Structure 1
Amino acid sequence: MLTVALWCLQALLAAIFVSVAVAKLTGAPSSIRTFDLIGLGQWLRYVTGVVELAGGCGLLIPRLAGFAGLGMACVMAGASVANLMVLSPAMTSVTVLLGIACAVVAARRWPAGSSSR
């Protein structure tokens, strides 16, 4: 039962990350405005979009799910900081929850025995 719930969580996270990545990579006006507010340039929008697309896909590949979960948890930590400092503090709760969900996936899907090498 827990395995099914974990796969459902991974599929939901993958759908979220792929959809926001597509918005970033296709130049949705809201994404452009968001990265203008951050002030580091539109290159960050492209980098973030590619990372989110790769992470979303990686969440669905068993061998990569643990690594993808860890990577996306890090991305959500950065998004939380951006929300707190520049964008919308109210949205921080969303990025924190997504980060926690990604961390759960990372912990549960981490490759067995990789820490003993």
Structure 2
Amino acid sequence: MTTIATPTATRSRARRYALVVLQVLLAAVYVASGIGKVGLDPTVVAGFAAMGIGPAGTVTIGVLELLGAIGLLIPRLAGLAATAFVALMIGAVVITAATVGVAMVPVPAVVLVLVAVVAWARRHETAALLRDPRRLWSTRRA
């Protein structure tokens, strides 16, 4: 017996794959960004200093980016990590607009939109995790 994939099933599978690819790409962006911050790259430190953020704040943001990047790659944490990144990127857009100028806002704004897509797509998983945090360590699939 052969099974014929329905257009809806194929589309759903394609969306799932696209979402996973987006999560991996965002994780790569955050790893690259976080390494420069944690390593206190002089260019990064100077940019953050221009925004009024010192080395401690730079490293803190870098650590959050690295942890969030790992979270994006863990299926049960992906939605929660993306939601946290939405908050981080809203702050990045606001601080960039207020200190550096509107010309630099598109960079964090585009990343904000992309993580918002992941957060929205994973919202049901995030809600389930928040309702019952034990799901994180459960061996059953949610």
TM-score between both structures, scaled by the size of structure 2: 0.76
Secondary structure of the residue aligned to 1:39 is coil
Residues 116 and 49 of structure 1, relative CA distance in 2, 3 Å threshold: closer
Secondary structure of the residue aligned to 2:103 is helix
Say whether the 8 Å CA contact 2:68–2:81 is kept in structure 1.
yes
Compute the RMSD of aligned alpha carbons: 1.8
Per-residue Cα deviation, 1:79-106 (whole angstroms, up to 9, x for no partner): 1111101124222112111111111111
Q: 2:80 aligns with which of 67, 77, 93?
A: 67
Say whether the 8 Å CA contact 2:80–2:126 is kept in structure 1.
no
| 2:63 is aligned with 1:50 | yes
* Runs of 4+ with >2 A deviation: 112-117
Aligned-partner Cα distance in 2 for 1:97–1:78: 13
Equivalence map 1:1-117=2 (5 Å)? 1-110=14-123, 111=125, 114=128, 117=131
Aligned-partner Cα distance in 1 for 2:107–2:119: 18
Aligned-partner Cα distance in 2 for 1:34–1:96: 17
Secondary structure of the residue aligned to 1:48 is helix
Query: Sequence identity of aligned pairs in percent?
Result: 36
Aligned-partner Cα distance in 1 for 2:90–2:127: 27
Instruction: Name the stretch that deviates more: 91-100 or 52-61.
Output: 91-100
Counterpart code for 1:47: T
Say whether the 8 Å CA contact 2:37–2:62 is kept in structure 1.
yes
Say whether the 8 Å CA contact 2:90–2:112 is kept in structure 1.
yes
Aligned-partner Cα distance in 2 for 1:49–1:67: 18
Task: Please identify the structure whose Cα radius of gyration is greater.
Answer: 2
How many residues align? The count is 117
Secondary structure of the residue aligned to 1:86 is helix
Aligned-partner Cα distance in 2 for 1:56–1:112: 16
TM-score between both structures, scaled by the size of structure 1: 0.91
